Amino acid sequence: MALDFNGRVAIVTGAGGGLGRAHALALAARGARVVVNDLGGALDGTGGSATAADRVVEEIRAAGGEAIANGASVTDFAAVQGMVQQAMDTWGRIDVLVSNAGILRDKTFAKMDLADFRQVLDVHLMGGVHCCKALWPIMNAQKYGRIVLTTSSSGLYGNFGQTNYGAAKLALVGLMQTLALEGAKNDIRVNCLAPTAVTRMTESLLPQDMLKAFGPEAVVPAMLVLASEQAPTRTTLCAGAGGFEAANITLTHGVYIGTAADAPEQLLARLGEVRERRGEMVPGSGAEQGTNELRLLREGR
C-alpha cells in the first residue's frame, strides 16, 4: 500500500537541514503541502536566519511541490501560533506535525550550566509542547491529526554528557503517551521517532565508516509511516541505516512482599525477581501499574 499525502498539510520544524529537510522533502514528494520551519540558528541555538528554510522551500517547489517557509522559534509560543495561522491562512487545514527542531549543548552534568540545561529543555520539550498545543484545537475540530515527536536513544537509554538532551527527549515520550490517549477519540495519532542519523548535530559523534550508512534519508521511512493515515499510535519507532526497531516502556510481572517492618530487606533480597523480564508487559495506561499491584496483593494474601 503506497503512502499518499495528497491533500494533506504538514508542518516540519527544524526543516532547514539534516533530518528535518529530509522529512520535508519526502512529505512533499508524496503530495503533502509543507510548512518548512527553521529558525536558522547555530548548533547551540544561537542566532537565526531564514535562509535555510527558504532553500528547502525552493527545492520543493523546483520538484513541483508546494511549500512555504517559516522562521519561528519553537520556544516562542506566540510565534508558533503565528506559524500555525500562516498554514491555515494558506491551505485551510493542518494534518501532520513533525516536531524535529533541536539543539545541543553537551557537557557532563558536573560542568553543565543550568542555563544550558534549561535551554535544551525549552527547545526540545517545550518546542514540541508549543507546536502540539497550537495545533490541538485544529486537529480535534477536523477529527484527524498525525503528530511525530522526535525522541532519541539518549533519552530512552542514556548517553554520557547529555543529561539535558536525554531528559528532554524522554519527556517527549511521556508527552506522547498521554496525548495519544486524549487524541484517540478524534483520530489524532501521536508517536515518537528515535533516529540514528548523521546530521549537523551528530556528525562529530560517529566514526567515518558509519557516516554514509546513517544518512538522514534512512530515517525517513519511519517518519512517513508515523505521519501517514495508516499510522499506529503510542509507538516509538527507532530507525537508522535501514534498520527499524520499536522501543517500549515495560512493566515486569513483579512480586508481592507486603508492608512488614522487614519489607525493605525482603525487597533487596528479591530484587532479581522483581527485575525479571520474562512476562513483562507494555501497559495501556499508567493505571495498569496500580492494577498489577492490586493483583499481586490479592495473590499474595
Catalytic residue positions? Answer: 165
Cell numbers describing residue 159 = 548517553
Strands 145-150 and 243-247: unpaired
Using an 8 Å Cβ cutoff, are 292 and 256 in contact?
Answer: no
Q: Which residues pair with 67 in a beta bridge?
A: 34
Give CA–CA dist 236/297, Å, rounded.
32
End-to-end C-alpha distance for the chain, whole angstroms: 52
> Which of 276, 234, 233 lies closest to 255, judged by CA?
276
Using an 8 Å Cβ cutoff, are 206 and 218 in contact?
Answer: no
User: Which runs of consecutive H residues, i.e. helices, occur in 188-262?
Assistant: 208-211, 220-227
Using an 8 Å Cβ cutoff, are 199 and 19 in contact?
Answer: yes
Cell numbers describing residue 227 = 505521519
> Which of 215, 213, 216, 236 lies closest to 225, judged by CA?
236
> Which of 146, 176, 187 lies closest to 236, judged by CA?
176
Provide the sign of the torsion angle of the four alpha carbons 17, 197, 117, 99, taken in this order: positive
